[in-house]
Every structure is written in C-alpha cells, then in structure tokens.
Amino acid sequence: MVELAPLDGTVETAFRSDKGRRSENQDRCGEFARAGAHLVVVADGMGGHRGGQTASRLAVEAIGEAFARSAKRPSEALLDALVEANRRVHEAGQHDLALHGMGTTAVALVIDAKHRGWVAHVGDSRAYRLRAGRLERLTEDHSWLARQLRDGTLSPAEARDHPARGRLMRTIGREPGVEVDLSSVSVRPGDRFLLCSDGLWGALEESEIAERLAVDPLCDAARGLVDAAIASGASDNVSVHVLHAVGSERPSRRGLVVAAALFAVALFALAFCR
Ligand code: CA
C-alpha cells in the first residue's frame, strides 16, 4: 500500500509494505500526529505464524496511541511510547500461549513543526537521512551480527550470509523491560528520511537506497525501494516509510545577508592587501 499524506506543510510522507516472497507480512508501518508533531514508525515482527503479525501490529498501535495522547515534549513522548509498546506486546504474549515469546523491532521518527527531529529504535529496523545526495544511517542495529562487526570478530564479507544474521539483542515485547535508543536528528528543508525493515537494507546497497530515495514524487520513491529489494531476490518482508521535510530549500534571507557581508569583507581584504 502506498499513501501520500501532506501534513500541515511541514512534512510529506509515503509508505509501502510488501510480504515479498513470504506467505504473510509480519512488518507494519504506521503514521500518527498530535499537535505540532508527526510520527512515522516501522515494526518488523517475529515469533511464529500469529506472533510476528500480532507483535508488530500491537507495537505500532501502542506507539501511536501513547505518543498522540502524551502531553510531554515530543522526545519524551516518543521514548515513553516505545516503552509502552514493549509493555503491551509483552503482556499480550503472557496471556496467550500461541503468542508467547513474540517480539518485534520498532524504529520511529518524530518531526515537529519547527523541523526538530528525534529517532527512537529497538532492534535492526533502521533510519536513514538523505541530505544533498549523501545517505547517512541514523541507527545502530541491536543485533548479534552488528556486535560482532563492531568487535571485529566477523568481517563484513563473513557477515553477509551469516546464519545468525537475524538474531536480535534487543526487541520490543520479549522481555518485561526494554532499553530504547533515542537521539535527536538535524532536519533541514529538502531532507529525506527513510525508515525500513531489514528486508530492505539487507537487499540493497546504500548507493542504490540513496538513488531510489531521491525519486519524485515521494510515493514513487517508496514503491521503487520496495520493488528493487524484491527484484534483487529479498526473501523477507520489505517495508519502507519515507518522509520529506518540506520548506524552502533556497538560502534564507538571513543567510543571503551573511553571504553578502562575507563577500564584501573578502573584496575589501583583496583591495587592501594589494
Ligand atoms: Ca524482517
């Protein structure tokens, strides 16, 4: 499904989630708003036939509800929302044997009306920012593989098709408590953000992600990313939520005044130094 939703002129968003070559889709995307702030989230569930779907759905719903009803600052509301999602998914797993042990990743991005941004995540779903053609990853995977790569125990080539590739060190819902990574992110007009499940980043090189994320309109970027991952042989569910920071990408008036002043100083220095 692809949706384009202009949100009071601050951001535009689009998402797409596809089961790919799997029989069911355990990924989930969500989008929510409260006064002056927008939230997008991607979750990748795990834990058997029903468990994976239930975990990602419950987590996205819990994150959206908790964020929307919170009166706290966006960053605190975001952190609380992922903790609440953990509580709700864990509790549901305790009450139904078929759901026992279910869990999910979650990566969420909030941007407020002043273009301030925060990313929170648990697991190996990722956030990226594309600015002026350069793609930057904003999250560190909470996976066994990422830890081995960090410690130098495995090389990137060894990690590529490692059997323990999907093993997570942190999840939403498997334990009664959860440690959430939260960071603020710089947002400028023209920036593009991508939240995605590992079905996307595991299938595409970063250069291809950057190229496809830049496509207009935004819904075509979302579709192109997912289609490319599936075409490249991805065997997993593939989900993306993309966000474009709307605004004038021309230099601000203040920026022009500063640039003119610097130019004048440079001319004066040149003239004076002769
Ligand atoms: Ca996955």
Cα 236 to middle of ligand 1, angstroms? 6
Q: Answer whether the bond into residue 217 is a cis peptide, omega within 30°.
A: yes
DSSP SS3 for 218: helix
- Residues 5-29: tens digit of each pLDDT: 444 578 999 999 999 999 999 999 9
pLDDT of residue 250: 46
Contact yes or no for 85/63 (Cβ under 8 A): yes
pLDDT at 270 over 70: no
pLDDT at 160 over 90: no
Cα 187 to middle of ligand 1, angstroms? 27
DSSP SS3 for 154: coil
Cα 42 to middle of ligand 1, angstroms? 11
The protein residues having their C-beta less than 5 angstroms from ligand 1 (an ion) are: 44, 197-199, 236
pLDDT of residue 268: 63
pLDDT of residue 4: 40
Cα 90 to middle of ligand 1, angstroms? 19
Q: Which residues of 34-47 are buried (b: 16+ CB within 10 A; e: fewer)?
A: beebbbbbbbbbbb
pLDDT at 156 over 90: no
Cα 169 to middle of ligand 1, angstroms? 15
Cα 44 to middle of ligand 1, angstroms? 6
> How far from each other are the two terminal CA atoms of the chain, in whole angstroms?
65
**pLDDT band at residue 259, thresholds of 50, 70 and 90?**
low
Read off the pLDDT of each residue in 88-93 and give the average, rounded to a whole number.
97
- Residues 104-147: tens digit of each pLDDT: 999 999 999 889 999 999 999 999 999 999 999 999 999 999 99
As a whole-number percent, the residues of the chain with pLDDT over 90 amount to 75
d(CA 32, CA 25): 21
For the entire predicted model, the pTM comes to 0.87
